[in-house]
Chains A and B, each alone.
Chain A
């Protein structure tokens, strides 16, 4: 019998055709995602037509904290960055170098309201691929991990700019009273909410601060805001352009908390009210919660257009020219793709123009002409911790455990070859970390660490063995090392295994246990990490929060506690001058450095890949992922 004589039975052919047709019809019949609500004609909020009221004089600012707008600011919002474009060693790719770090983060000059001429890129829609968000929402309460996804459509009073500097955004001026308990923000006039929801005024800031304190807020700041913020005062009335934040206790770094990096982004009160949003205390009603998720309104350079669940968020340019930046690409689409290989395929086939490709997959894209872009700042904090270092009065504290002894911790630090980790995993691009919560860019930096680090922490396994013997453990000891995946650092498990091997080389018997993040977190919170070490990652944030998270005994899961840290952190919370804060942070840093409270490893730059035929330049810190979409320069 030959193949030509084989003919399919009719029932089989018909079945296949029918099922195919049903599938095809079903594909076409599926309803598209609902369009976001837009105010109907004649339904425009009152604020849209209200003339801006004359702003009152802001309170006399405290000298060191005053930042004011220059009298004339003819230049565009973003100062031209001093970035360099250079070949990344060994890969032939383009890396955008970071601007030189500054010792103290000073808010820079306020951008002027300049509307740039829209560019004409080769394509109109910039498409970016990234991992799925923690919460599939377009709501600012989603949490900081999802910040880059919502930032295109929102703005804050202060922005965390392309170099992680705090820079004016919707507030051209701010000031604080002498003890930092009253902060006054002067708002930029004429800034419009998207989709005709009117001008941003003081009432919108007040509304935002209620939203920030919502009980369903999945970010660490919500509870802090509820504790900190006593009252929002509008001296010029709700339609004015001045707000005063009256606090229950001093807060010198208020501009950080009011910045986009803490998702303190301004939402429209008129939009909320007109669509049935109601706040009862700190509880938002269902209509309000759904409104924020499905139809977010902000003042950003892009406005929300469409959210296809688990697929993408699409943005478009607002109808009015944006006060700060008209993006080169009129549309933006952010794809959510869990599998890195799929992101790679999307990039090399041209389905997207930028993607968060892990380092081990980059070669596949490099060979097809894509290039690597490095974040402008070291976005990922790679550190290690020694468990069991609770306060001495904690019942779980056991002073006989090896890792409670500073000399043992020093030995374990000396056992690690940091340069090898950098070379093997990060192609030498990571920055050596001197101390867990400090960086030259932040307050409390101690420059002498740069000179002494090699002598104090440098790789020296022989000395490490001698120190273990001196500490009473000539034969080593047994520890458990927990390891769990961390977002943004796919190499985490491999690095942790390498560190385990370093420790084994000096005689420590390591029981290496890969676990789920939730398992580790629950143990840590319950203070059940005795005789346990682990590596961890954090983001590039100012030191106060890092100290709180890692060292303050009042935090949820401190890693290294001591009476010294408790006392100093509590003093820091009420410190009333910048100098005092600086000193306290430095003191804590020096203490941590001297007692080897942790395992400082590296500040790792965020890396992503772009298609150079579409994107000319992209400057972003990469904190929490790709962002600063409005500043992406298109190839013309």
Chain B
């Protein structure tokens, strides 16, 4: 087990190392950030000065190792767009907003996907099933920016029930501002989750123990919601783990449309303004989260199932 963990840890570090090279390279192949940040009438002297200030005058490999060395100590440099702030500080400050949005989107996904998935399975090949499947298909097919704009148009502009955008003031106002972006993100996740719930339920509902329960006179609601759903939940709950990571990192478009100040919007701003320090930080932080979650899951699997660690 110990050897397995060490090997997996080593592999994770290689992945992170590769990600650091890729993001460092991508941040530079798209042009020198100073060409965008400085106005047209900034002369060559100003350009050189800024290059020096941000370390862009050095050879690329020197820049990379300086970046890597600093990153290992938690120093990702200062933001170009927000020069009074550390890049990591900016990212971490925006994280709670994104987590909150992802959390509510997850609630939306669960609250819709499980009941609809169950209903779809119980009413297989009936009108409710077709409607549910169409709803799920639309959620997975429609581009997230389009869904976001349509939700805004319907609930904010036409019905005037909810605010169009922003984060709102602390308290209930903040919660109200979360609803539309959470729905926009959640709908996409609903599709995958609902279809998995449906297929799992269909499988379980056809099993012997369910038939036995019905024969014993257990009520249909109890059969469906207690016995069948509990057994059918294993696969969807496993998927939920993956969805959480997707929700956190998949908020870029939705946060931009709703002008919601989370990490996604920060990423878009950083890309637009060539804030390479922040771009690098966001990607590396996300990579650490993904790799960390995967490592954790691998270790748990190996702990539960010894065949994995000996494979």
Contact = CB atoms under 8 A, between A and B. Distances in A.
Contacts of B291: none
A306 B106 CA distance: 32
A26 B102 CA distance: 13
B221 A5 contact: yes
Contacts of A519: 30-31
Contacts of A215: 49, 53
A348 interface: yes
Nearest to A132: B269
A518 B274 contact: yes
Contacts of A19: 103-104, 106-107
A311 B152 contact: no
B114 to A, nearest CB: 6
Q: Chain B: interface secondary structure?
A: helix
Contact of B164 (A23, A136, A286, A349): A349
A22 B118 contact: no
A520 B36 CA distance: 10
A312 B166 CA distance: 9
Interface in A1-21: 1, 3, 5-9, 12, 15-16, 19-20
Interface in B156-180: 156-157, 160, 163-167, 169-172, 174-175, 178
B42 A556 contact: yes
B29 to A, nearest CB: 9
B268 interface: yes
A259 to B, nearest CB: 15
**Most B C-beta atoms less than 10 A away, residue of A27, A219, A345, A348:** A27
A134 B33 contact: no
Interface string A134-157: 111100000111000000000000
**Most A C-beta atoms less than 10 A away, residue of B31, B106, B111, B164:** B164
Contact of B30 (A309, A339, A518): A518
Interface stretch (A93-101, A187-195, A288-296, A588-596): A288-296
Interface string B14-40: 000000000000000011110111111
A176 interface: no
A19 B104 CA distance: 8
A30 B170 contact: yes
A216 B53 contact: yes
B100 A339 contact: no
Given A16-B111, A27-B100, A335-B259, A6 B39 contact: no
A22 B107 CA distance: 11
A24 B273 contact: no
Nearest to A519: B31
A42 interface: no
**Most B C-beta atoms less than 10 A away, residue of A224, A348, A556:** A556
A346 to B, nearest CB: 5
Given A9-B229, A216-B83, A518-B32, A349 B156 contact: yes
A345 B84 contact: no
**Most B C-beta atoms less than 10 A away, residue of A15, A144, A289:** A15
B250 interface: no
Interface in B57-96: 80-84, 93, 96
B197 to A, nearest CB: 11
A521 B35 contact: yes
B40 A557 contact: yes
Given A223-B49, A339-B256, A517-B31, A311 B111 contact: no
Interface in A213-236: 215-216, 218-224, 227
Contacts of B100: 23, 26-27
A135 to B, nearest CB: 5
A8 B152 CA distance: 30
A223 B42 contact: yes
A122 B280 CA distance: 47
A335 B167 CA distance: 12
B224 A1 contact: yes
Given A27-B178, A310-B266, A9 B225 contact: yes
Contact of A220 (B43, B174, B225, B258): B43
Given A337-B259, A346-B165, A518-B35, A220 B40 contact: yes
A15 B110 contact: yes
Nearest to B177: A27
Contact size range, B:
35 or more
Contact size range, A:
35 or more
A520 B31 CA distance: 8
A54 interface: no
Interface stretch (A245-253, A320-328, A406-414, A547-555): A547-555
Interface string B95-132: 01101100110110011001100110010000000000
B265 A338 contact: yes
A201 B160 CA distance: 51
A335 B163 CA distance: 14
Given A9-B230, A521-B36, A335 B31 contact: no
Nearest to A135: B81
Contacts of B226: 9
B171 A336 contact: no
A216 B80 CA distance: 10
A562 interface: no
Contacts of B268: 338
Contacts of A31: 170
Contact of B259 (A16, A336, A521, A554): A336
Interface string A340-363: 011001101101000000000000
Contact of B39 (A24, A143, A308): A143
Nearest to A1: B220
B110 to A, nearest CB: 6
A32 interface: yes
A64 interface: no
Contacts of B261: 308-311
**Most A C-beta atoms less than 10 A away, residue of B32, B82, B83:** B83
Given A310-B265, A519-B30, A555-B43, A27 B174 contact: yes
Contacts of A224: 43
B46 interface: yes
Interface string A85-115: 0000000000000000000000000000000
21 contacts: A8-B115, A9-B226, A9-B229, A26-B103, A27-B170, A30-B170, A136-B81, A215-B49, A218-B50, A219-B39, A219-B42, A222-B46, A286-B84, A309-B82, A311-B166, A337-B165, A339-B259, A341-B149, A342-B258, A518-B33, A555-B41
Given A6-B119, A12-B110, A223-B49, 20 more contacts: A3-B119, A9-B225, A16-B111, A23-B100, A134-B81, A144-B39, A218-B37, A220-B46, A223-B45, A290-B84, A310-B261, A335-B259, A336-B259, A338-B265, A338-B269, A520-B31, A521-B36, A556-B38, A556-B42, A556-B47
Interface of A: 1, 3, 5-9, 12, 15-16, 19-20, 22-24, 26-32, 132, 134-137, 143-145, 215-216, 218-224, 227, 286, 289-290, 293-294, 308-312, 335-339, 341-342, 345-346, 348-349, 351, 516-522, 525, 538, 545, 548-549, 554-557
A-B interface, 7 closest residue pairs, ranked by CB to CB distance from nearest: A518-B31, A521-B35, A220-B41, A27-B174, A220-B42, A223-B46, A310-B261
